[in-house]
Chains A and B, each alone.
Chain A
Amino acid sequence: MTQNKISSNLLVIGAGIAGISSALEAAETGLNVILIDKEPFIGGNVARFNRYFPKLCPPGCGLEINIRRLRTNPAIKLFTLAEVASVKKNNGKYNVGIKVSPRHVNRLCTACGDCAKVCPEKTANEFNYKMDETTSVNIANESAYPQQYVIDMKTCKGESCNKCVEVCKYNAIELNQTEETIDAEVDSIIVATGWEPYNAENIEVLQFGKHSDIITNVIMERLASPNGPTKGQILRLSSNEKINSVAFVQCAGSRDENYLEYCSSVCCMASIKQAKYIREQHPEAEVHIHYIDIRANGILESFYNEVSKDEKIHFHRGKVAKVFHNPETNKMVVEAEDTLTGNLMQNPVELVVLATGMKPNSLNGLTDEISFDKNGFLNLTNGAITGCGVITEPKEVASVVQEATGAVLTALQTINRN
């Protein structure tokens, strides 16, 4: 195990849109920054999205600019597959132990792709929420950053196969690479560890995992993405057939004391956006959105307004009681309160999308200078450790970037710039 020592003004934990934004804003204000992410590629959840609401623009557009800023700014040191192992306060600074897992592909990689062509082993594709498989040596997608492959040693057969090692002309593959530790000394820390989709399997009545035509909103993003498992085709996964009807189940887990007691803030707009995806691809399809309240705050209202005028998009107010598969019709049935009659309505559709919420990634036990509330969100202080993004509360990308910029100011207050 090798040890490296570095010192820097700021450590940003997490390189999703929050962490990337914080790191860039800080570096462009003259701070030295260490940016780490636990995944092999940066971009977090947004890199998996097809379009942002309300402009319906691809996240890759903003990420391209941000990655260019990142690539060309020597003040930022990026470590992927890296996690914080320890934080100790020392003389007003923080000594942070960062554990970097082996990538098994070094910086000589040119992303030519020869290794993946010869790799005989398959592994679940994490980038597509394990909906499909990829090769053991892989790159999340063609625009992933860094443009450097990674090997999943859980499925790689190592030297007994050695095919990738043999084919690589650039000595980029190191099957024996080991874990490294970095001792970082920093003035300030921004926690931007983000969120994971709430596990819909917890909500038994919604039957997620029981039928492949019941999916979640993040899976819908992958289906709609040109670089997703279906190359952008939104299909019934059970039959690969075209879709004629879809129902969105809002607050799948959110606003419910049994699951997530808070509102996840973004799911209403996400479903409205996804309803547009479906209307664009399947002009005949009927779309139903079952909701409690439509939360289109601020100017997002105009997007909701526009979509609600679409005669094939139907809004039904009332909480969904359950979802089940009717084998006779091969349809998914959404049973929901009908607020007009007070009775239950049954809505048979071909695809059900559960608008699952955001669960903050857990990051307990780092240091007692920071704490998390009962729901797992970071309690913000004005100290040298601050946070931004969904780790502080659920929010959409625009608010994440806004908070990420402000977090740098909080950090700056604790750093002597002279």
Chain B
Amino acid sequence: MAVETKVGVYLCSGCGIGDSINLEELSNVATNEYKTPVCKSYTWLCKNETVSEIESDIKNESLNRVVIAACSDRFMEDVFNFDKDVQTVRVNLRENVAWTHKSMDEDTEMLAQDYLRMGITKAKSIDITVPAIEDITETILVVGGGLSGMSSALAASKAGSKVILTEKEDELGGWLKNLYKLPPTKYPYDTLEENNVKELIAEVEAKENTRVIKNCEIEKVSGQPGQFEVKYKMKGNSSEEILKIGSIVQATGWKEYDPENLADLGYGKFKNVITGNQLEKYIQNVNGSKTLNDMPVSSIAFIQCAGSRDEKHLPYCSAACCTASMKQMLYVREKFPDALIYMIYKDIRTPSQYELLYKRVQNEDRIFMTKGEVNNLRQDENGMIEIDVDNTLLGEEIQIKSDIVVLATGMVPSTFVEEVESDAVVDEDDGSGETLDGKKEAESAEIGAKILNLSYRQGTDLPTLHYGFPDSHYICFPYETRRTGIYAAGTVRAPMDYTQCISDAKGAALKSIQVLYALKNGVAVHPRSGDTTMPDFFMQRCTQCKRCTEECPFGTLDEDEKGTPLPNINRCRRCGICLGSCPERIITFKDYSIQSVSSMIKAVEIPDEFEEKPRILAFLCENDAYPALDLVGRYRMQFDPSVRVIPVRCLGAVNVVWIADALSRGFDGIIMLGCKHGDDYQCHYVRGSELAEKRMENVQEKLKQLVLEPERVQIHTVAIDEYEKLPTLFNDFVEEITEIGFNPYKGM
């Protein structure tokens, strides 16, 4: 910190703040306690003229820190946005004090004064951030040359990016080249389209800025976004080549659910039970003949959900099979106009305008579709397949006889691995006895599908969540994988149909271009988009405990042989979970550090026990719980004035030393509010709130050792719309702590 901090403090009495708080007393805190060179009060701080005055103060008084004590930092950000050499700290007097506490009350005054102390202290203890810009490679690697991969490569190359497309087979096309025709893609959705795979391959291969590598086996991906090194080998060739890559689209697609598991449906037992994928191939050889792969076709039955929507097989729906089977029914109708065509389904799933394809098929003659479940399936003496169908619409059992049975088998993502083999687990016990989930995480990724073969400490591939699909915030932020700069596209990401694959491929291509743009500008990608800070490691004090390398949700840190973390900053999403994890407190962000938060905690005035005023410290997740607290203010709900709130990047970015600091300062209780975790997690950093909860278990152990009640430190989940819960949570906690009694370490 080369330059001395010069703080200007600006107090606003608008929006009812002045009616609630004595600003004169408040300004005494700044001038007398902190001797800030400038402290001014205004009745309307966000007015243009006032902002201009602040700007001239910055110039005339050489201020480099500005404390705005007014509304929440979620408002007027553009107004209080000064020169880049000035750090602005917001003190939330409006929502957190004036709108939620008794007017002109001693406790309210104390609260406002504490918040101002915390703000000024923070301003003095944080530093200006400067984007770090490094040289990067802008080439995009697309792994997988099927429909999604080709679409991604083509989309990115048309947008001017350099693309390398790799394919493990000796030709591009993937499953697409197996198809006879494509589903309709436009209104009125009743006509199949010709398969354009040859044209698509030709177009991809003709692009000047695209290099296609077939027979390609990826040996290893090391480095970080903007600076990946991809080592590959050609099939059957032992020499390794290296590619310099900026970002990666993983479009490695799907495997067919193994029909050998479907013996109940006759696969493998009867030659005339085939899969939809086989039908696609066989139908292309029917040229006027009366048979399909030497089988008669006077009747044909499609069995849907063969292996899908079945706890014994794939519990999920494979999304594309209903449309695919309808498409195949139309093939049969085209090639065998007289054939009887049956379909046995659980539910027909033809979303949106594919409903019109369904209607087209229903209107065909000699097509019979029935809801039901296959109860039994056998071959009769003539080789025909007899199917007993149960649970039909009318409740009765029916029997269907057919020359051929087509099983609509489902999709398994290429990232899926059969089962966890225990001997593959890399045991890296750190000897701390405090095993955290990060290790388990690392282990399960370690035995992943080995597609990208990442040389990441946390494993070789994208971490997965449900059924082998890569983990992401799949509702709001579907492309946010847990490996920055690597984006899944197409059926590897989720089961999807033809048109969605093309659209998905484009989205992944955009993200792969976007991450490079962010790197060129030295800023973070989602969710802290635009953030220029990054973690700094003071390695001399590192004890190689490996907590940071295990707990980072994004696999930012690798390790050397001794276990010293090797940061790869371009993988970092700036969540601060590493800062929270580090027992040696060696990880710092310029504007968010152990010291900055500790000093805020220590800035709070703790009344002695005879005053009978408890003090509670609250850490709130800035993405959900803190905005919810703003809503408490906007609805003018009131809560206990003993609570001092510090917003944090994530509960995972709370270091336990802050809890120790708070207890030794004399806080009577600490409450932490973060997001839901588990399978349906809402934490924007995937595992932050879960890690915080695990760390708290250890904290409570330590409290017991200090003969402090474990109830003094609590953690709760609060979603952004659960603002009504907050006053009660705070009030109940204060009551509970009051009952327990004051912190015995107070004043020591």
Chain A positions within 8 Å of B, measured between CB atoms, are 24-25, 28-30, 50, 52, 54-58, 60-62, 64-66, 68-69, 71-74, 108, 110-113, 142-143, 147, 169-170, 225-227, 255, 261-265, 293-302, 305, 317, 339-340, 342, 373-375, 377, 379, 393-395, 397-399, 401-410, 412-413, 417
Contact = CB atoms under 8 A, between A and B. Distances in A.
Interface stretch (B279-287, B314-322, B415-423, B425-433): B314-322
B44 A170 contact: yes
Contact of B719 (A58, A227, A340, A409): A58
Contact of A263 (B14, B309, B318, B350): B350
B316 A406 contact: no
A264 B355 CA distance: 9
A293 B395 CA distance: 16
Nearest to A386: B506
B507 A405 contact: yes
Q: Which of A226, A255, A394 has the most CB of B within 10 A?
A: A226
A406 B510 CA distance: 6
A24 B514 CA distance: 11
Contacts of A305: 315
A294 B309 CA distance: 12
A339 B394 contact: yes
B478 interface: yes
Interface string B152-171: 00011011100000000000
Contacts of A375: 187, 353
Contacts of B720: 58, 60-61, 64, 143
A408 B156 CA distance: 11
A281 to B, nearest CB: 14
A276 B506 CA distance: 35
Contacts of B349: 293, 295-297
B356 A110 contact: no
Given A64-B623, A393-B353, A399-B500, A340 B316 contact: no
Interface stretch (B70-78, B204-212, B543-551, B659-667): B70-78
B684 A65 contact: yes
Interface in B1-55: 14-16, 43-44, 46-47
A395 B496 CA distance: 13
Interface stretch (B525-533, B561-569, B645-653): B525-533
B198 interface: no
A262 B347 contact: no
A89 B36 CA distance: 57
Contacts of A373: 186-188
Contacts of B348: 293
Which 9 residue pairs across A and B have the least CB separation, nearest first?
Answer: A62-B476, A406-B506, A405-B507, A373-B187, A293-B347, A406-B507, A58-B721, A409-B510, A142-B634
B555 to A, nearest CB: 21
A55 B472 CA distance: 13
Nearest to B348: A293
B183 interface: no
A225 B722 CA distance: 10
12 contacts: A66-B476, A71-B77, A110-B75, A143-B634, A261-B359, A296-B317, A298-B319, A340-B394, A398-B474, A406-B506, A408-B510, A412-B513
Given A112-B14, A379-B187, A300 B317 contact: yes
Contacts of A54: 680
Contacts of B315: 301-302, 305
A359 B317 CA distance: 26
A122 to B, nearest CB: 20
A305 B356 CA distance: 27
Given A69-B529, A170-B44, A302-B315, A29 B517 contact: yes
Contacts of A409: 155-156, 159, 506-507, 509-510, 513
Contacts of A69: 526, 529-530
A25 B510 contact: yes
Contacts of B525: 28
B127 to A, nearest CB: 20
Given A295-B351, A409-B159, A55 B682 contact: yes
B312 interface: no
Contacts of B719: 57-58, 61
A170 to B, nearest CB: 6
A415 B15 CA distance: 44
A395 B35 CA distance: 59
B180 interface: no
B371 interface: yes
Contacts of B500: 399, 402
B510 A64 contact: no
Max chain A CB contacts within 10 Å: which of B187, B356, B500, B507? B507
B529 A394 contact: no
Nearest to A399: B500
A313 B530 CA distance: 46
Contacts of B394: 339-340, 342
Nearest to A66: B476
Contact of B395 (A62, A339, A399, A407): A339
A394 B351 contact: yes
Contact of B14 (A55, A73, A169): A169
Interface string B435-479: 000000000000000000000000000000011010001111111
Residue of B351, B479, B514, B530 most packed against chain A (CB within 10 A): B351
B188 A374 contact: yes
B676 interface: yes
Interface string B721-737: 11110000000000000
A305 B317 CA distance: 11
B15 A112 contact: yes
B14 A29 contact: no
A335 B506 CA distance: 46
B631 interface: yes
Given A29-B513, A297-B319, A409-B507, A401 B14 contact: no
Contact of B494 (A52, A299, A340, A417): A299
A30 to B, nearest CB: 5
Contacts of B202: none
A255 B723 CA distance: 39
A377 B319 contact: no
Nearest to B158: A413
A379 B353 CA distance: 12
Contacts of A394: 351-352
Nearest to B493: A402
A395 B352 contact: yes
Interface string B137-161: 0000000000000000001101110
Nearest to A407: B506
